[in-house]
Chains A and B, each alone.
Chain A
Amino acid sequence: MLMTETDLSRARSADGAPGRLPKVPEGPAPGDEGGSLYAERVKVYPKEAHGRFRTVKWIVMAVTLGIYYIVPWIRWDRGPYLPDQAVLIDFPARRFYFFFIEIWPQEFYFVTGLLVLAALGLFLVTSIAGRVWCGYTCPQTVWTDLMIAVERFWQGDRNQRLRLDKHPWSAETLWRKGATHLSWLLIAIATGGAWVFYFADAPTLAKQLLTLQAPLVAYLFIGIFTATTYVLGGIAREQVCIYMCPWPRIQGAMFDRDSLLISYRTWRGEPRGPHKTGQSWEGRGDCIDCNQCVAVCPTGIDIRNGPQLECIQCALCIDACNAIMDKVERPRGLIAYDTMRNLAADGRETVPLHLIRPRVILYAVAMVVVSAIMLVALLVRPDLDVSVLHDRNPIYVRLSDGGLRNGYTVKLLNKLYEPHSFKIGIEGLPGATLSIIGLDKEADPVVAVPPDDLQTIRLYVTLQKQGAAALTGDSTDFNIVVTDVASGERALHKATFRGPER
């Protein structure tokens, strides 16, 4: 479904209706002489809602914020050599730890896969039930919700806040607003503070931060995230969703007539009007025009004007309206999750839900495929790995007796959490001897690789005269054998011995 201008124009609520959108003066259009090119922000005073969706949102807030603040403090034992933080992005060591998973820089495709999954998940959920991400779990929504709750705590609900802003400044205004902003700042600092713990050992960094011993970059990032949280969550709020975020625009193309969207059931509500107890409901709609749906809206729109770009589909209007419907003893669900197709039937029939649609199946299949690829990649990820690079310059070296020598750069990767030692040998090249720089005096060279690290060695393979004469071509395949000293496990790595053309 695309957002048409007709839809958007409905958002222009009638004069007097509280709403975010600027009232456009009649007369000259913007840009013409006399019209303003810029619109003042219309402040939104969201009222507190109570109901099922509000409860869900409180729970989602608690869970998401809990995850954010607590995760860096979870410990995960990786032995004596590695950090014991469950989730850690270790930039200096170039490692990313996530519980039992550890990612090296060259394995960044795991992160790419996660991002692809996240995008597909967003598409999937949007085509099923609209802007669920925006309404419940987006950090902007969660923090804004938290900031509004704090504001409500210090300044009271919608009506008190409206009154406070209408009156001239007084001592009361000052302390109430001061307390609000101070609380916002503290939340913002805690948010920025939690962020840096993902990038260093949390307990150590906490101690450093408190004793002012932490690296400058930690304070810098706390500052940046404090500023963004305070400004975006506390002050900008719905402006971020409406003017800064690209997602609302994209989502217009993601839901269709079968997506469950938060909708006002016009066929049931209209014609609307005030209703007195005892009056008949005959010949009129269920909407008593109490404006509660508008009052609770965090973006300050009127859901009764149809789907709108500004609507983050947080479902608070459903809670507000249901409470009123209970009071006037009409059935709930005047505002509800509904499909465009069902709405178009105007209540004459109930169009069955049609959630399993080609696009839903496509997104789900794509998610399964990406997950499967990632899982396989993770399962076959070798803990001990060898890579062999043959010297290119020179390809081979001729020796004084007519023998040949080849040089190789061998990288031994140890992705395990303890040091490992490897015996290096060769197989399949009769008469060849090998030597390793730094270990050339040892008969049986053993290379020690530190835990979770790689060791690069230079390896020379030499064929004396007879061996070189026995080569049949300019290139002979053989194996470099790497044996784990502790377990005796052998890994063969194919390599090539090069000589002059024959």
Chain B
Amino acid sequence: MAKRDSHPAAKVETTGHEWDGITEANRPLPKWWLWTFYACIVWAIGYWLLMPAWPLVSTYTKGFLGYSQRERVAEQVADAKAAKAVYRDKIASMTLASIVEDPELLNFALAGGEAAFGDNCAPCHGRGAQGAFGYPNLRDDSWLWGDGSLDAIYTTISHGIRADDPKTRMNQMPAFGRTGMLTEPKISDVADYVLSLSGGGFGDHAAIERGGKIFAETCAPCHGADGKGNSKLGVPNLTDQLWLYGGDKSTVMESIRNGRGGVMPNWSARLDPETIKELAIYVHSLGGGR
């Protein structure tokens, strides 16, 4: 039975700390805490043995389970590839036109195309495909090469422009000034005329008239008598509001003087056909596709 005195004085050692009558007891820990600590040590030893643990000079202890995060990543990548294979196979076997008819495939292609665009195309064309000086904006409604159809875009991406590919798109804007075909005043006159085609340019009428004559002789064979160009041959339309290299007079004169010849790689040498198909579908979806 309990003793009568149920309020025994504390027999617990204190640390000597006291605040407002509250003293800090120096109590023993429950023993199972100690066992928990030992269990953690045992667990750690087991972990060292089973898992990769200790770095060595040129390698590390591999552990008996042989677990490797690198292998795991490789497996997961392989799994992801296998999961995508269903769609990729379809994309490989189907025509571009039929892929975009299938909403599920279209979605897949757009997502894949966007990723591939970021990796491969964005450095020149910009992340938003908005283009830059000398690199066309892929979102507008004008195409330098081809008619903006899926197949035309696919061809351009596959074979490139002025690239090392037998089927590459190829033309040449001559350097009229550098080769001496046109003198500086004539270049100025032609530039005035070219700017007037798109409603811009403020050269005097005489200059535009002179430039028109030179244009008819020198430029019209490619750009057409009306200056509307020819996208089959990659000849730019000079009458619209879009300029690849800028629409001010000095830039236009520079183009006439030294010619232009931008290059786009033939991506078929670097990407598989499915990715190029996805890219074509993505670029087609950016607003300019027809």
Q: Is the CB of B240 within 8 A of A401?
A: yes
**Is the CB of A112 closer than 8 A to any CB of chain B?**
no
Within 8 A of B (CB), among A4-29: 4-6, 8-10, 12-17, 22, 24, 26, 29
Q: Are B8 and A14 in contact (CB under 8 A)?
A: yes
CB distance from A292 to the nearest CB of B (A): 12
Q: How far is the CA of A272 from the CA of B4 in the complex (A)?
A: 8
How long is the Cα–Cα vector from A270 to B240 in the complex, in angstroms?
A: 106
Residues 1-40 of B, flagged 1 when their CB comes within 8 A of A and 0 if not, give 1111111111111100000011111111111111000000
When chains A and B are docked, how far (Å) is the Cα of A87 from the Cα of B61?
Answer: 47
| Cβ–Cβ < 8 Å partners of A466 in chain B | none
Q: Are the CB atoms of A289 and B241 closer together than 8 Å?
A: no
Per DSSP, chain A at the interface is loop
Specify which chain A residues have a CB less than 8 angstroms from the CB of B242 in the assembled complex.
Answer: 398-400
- Tell me whether A305 and B7 are in contact in the complex, defined as CB-CB below 8 angstroms, given that A5-B14, A243-B33 are known contacts: yes
Q: Which residues of B contact A305 (CB under 8 A)?
A: 6-7
Determine whether B126 belongs to the interface, using a CB cutoff of 8 Å to chain A.
Answer: yes
State whether A8 touches B2 (Cβ < 8 A): no
Nearest-neighbour CB distance to chain A for B9, whole angstroms, equals 7
- Report yes or no: B31 in contact with A41, Cβ–Cβ below 8 A: yes
Q: A340–B142 Cα gap in the complex (Å)?
A: 86
Instruction: Give CA–CA (A335, B240) in the complex, Å.
Output: 96
Report the nearest A residue to B139, measured CB to CB: A397
Are B21 and A4 closer than 8 Å at their CB atoms? yes
- Report the minimal beta-carbon distance from B206 to chain A, rounded to whole angstroms: 27
Given known contacts A12-B12, A289-B1, A398-B242, is B30 in contact with A393 (CB within 8 Å)?
no
When C-beta atoms are compared, the residue in chain A nearest to B31 turns out to be: A38
Report if B127 contacts A (CB, 8 A): yes
B141 within 8 A of A: yes
User: Hey, which chain A residues are within 8 Å of B121, CB to CB?
Assistant: none
* Cα distance A14–B285 in the bound complex, in angstroms: 85
Interface size class of A (residues with CB under 8 A): 35 or more
A418 at the interface (CB under 8 A from B): no
- Would you call A2 and B22 a contact (CB within 8 A)? yes
Q: Which residues of B contact A24 (CB under 8 A)?
A: 11-12, 28
Given A15-B3, A438-B103, A9 and B12 contact (CB-CB distance below 8 Å): yes
Min Cβ gap B221→A in Å is: 22
Given contacts A5-B22, A10-B7, contact A17 B137 (CB under 8 A): no
Which of chain B's residues 74-123 have a Cβ closer than 8 Å to chain A? Answer: 100, 103, 106, 110
Query: With A and B bound together, what is the CA distance between A17 and B4 in angstroms?
Result: 11
In the bound complex, residues from chain B placing their C-beta under 8 Å from that of A430 are: none
In the assembled complex, which residues on chain B have CB atoms less than 8 Å from the CB atom of A398? 137, 140, 241-242
A387 at the interface (CB under 8 A from B): no
Chain B residues, Cβ within 8 Å of A5: 10, 14, 21-25
Q: Does A159 contact B (CB under 8 A)?
A: no
A402 at the interface (CB under 8 A from B): yes
Partner of B2, one of A36, A291, A399: A291
- How far apart sit A195 and B270, CA to CA, in the bound complex (Å)? 51
Decide yes or no whether B130 CB sits under 8 A from chain A: yes
Q: Mark A69-88, 1 if CB is under 8 A from B, else 0.
A: 00000000000000000000
Q: Which residues of A contact B1 (CB under 8 A)?
A: 16, 289, 291
By the criterion CB–CB under 8 Å, are A302 and B34 in contact? no
Within 8 A of A (CB), among B50-93: none
- Given the interface pairs A14-B5, A400-B237, the reply to whether A4 lies near B22 with Cβ below 8 Å is yes
CA distance A7 to B12 in the complex (A): 13
Residues of A within 8 A of B137 (CB): 394, 397-398
B246 within 8 A of A: no
Kindly name the residue among B24, B28, B241 whose own CB sees the greatest number of chain A CB atoms within 10 A.
B28
Using CB atoms, name the residue of chain B closest to A391. Answer: B128
A14 engages B241 (CB within 8 Å): no
Contact across chains for B287 and A26 when beta carbons are under 8 A apart:
no
Residue of B nearest to A264 (CB): B6
Closest B residue to A29 using CB positions: B13
The contact string, 1 if C-beta is below 8 Å from chain A, for chain B 184-226, is: 0000000000000000000000000000000000000000000
Interface positions of A from 451 to 474, Cβ below 8 Å from B: 458, 460
Closest to B8 in A: A14
Min distance, Cβ B250 to any Cβ of chain A, angstroms = 21
Contacting pair B30 A39 (CB below 8 A): yes
Residue of B nearest to A304 (CB): B6
A4 surroundings in chain B (CB, below 8 A)? 21-22
Contact B126–A38 (Cβ < 8 Å): no
What are the residues of chain B within 8 A of A407 when measuring CB–CB? Answer: 139, 287
Q: Which residues of B contact A399 (CB under 8 A)?
A: 140-142, 241-242
Say whether A243 contacts B30, CB under 8 Å: yes
- Beta-carbon contact of A38 and B12 below 8 Å: no
Seen from chain B, the residues whose Cβ lies within 8 Å of a Cβ on chain A are 1-14, 21-34, 100, 103, 106, 110, 126-128, 130, 137, 139-142, 237, 240-242, 285, 287
Task: Please name 5 further chain A to chain B contacts, defined as beta carbons within 8 Å, in addition to the given A289-B2, A393-B127, A397-B130, sorted by A numbering.
Answer: A9-B25, A14-B2, A41-B31, A393-B126, A397-B140
19 pairs, CB–CB < 8 Å, chain A vs chain B: A24-B28, A30-B13, A30-B27, A36-B28, A37-B29, A41-B31, A302-B2, A305-B7, A394-B126, A394-B128, A397-B287, A398-B241, A400-B142, A401-B240, A407-B139, A407-B287, A437-B106, A438-B100, A460-B287
Which 3 A-B pairs have CB atoms at the shortest separation, nearest pair first? A29-B13, A393-B128, A9-B10
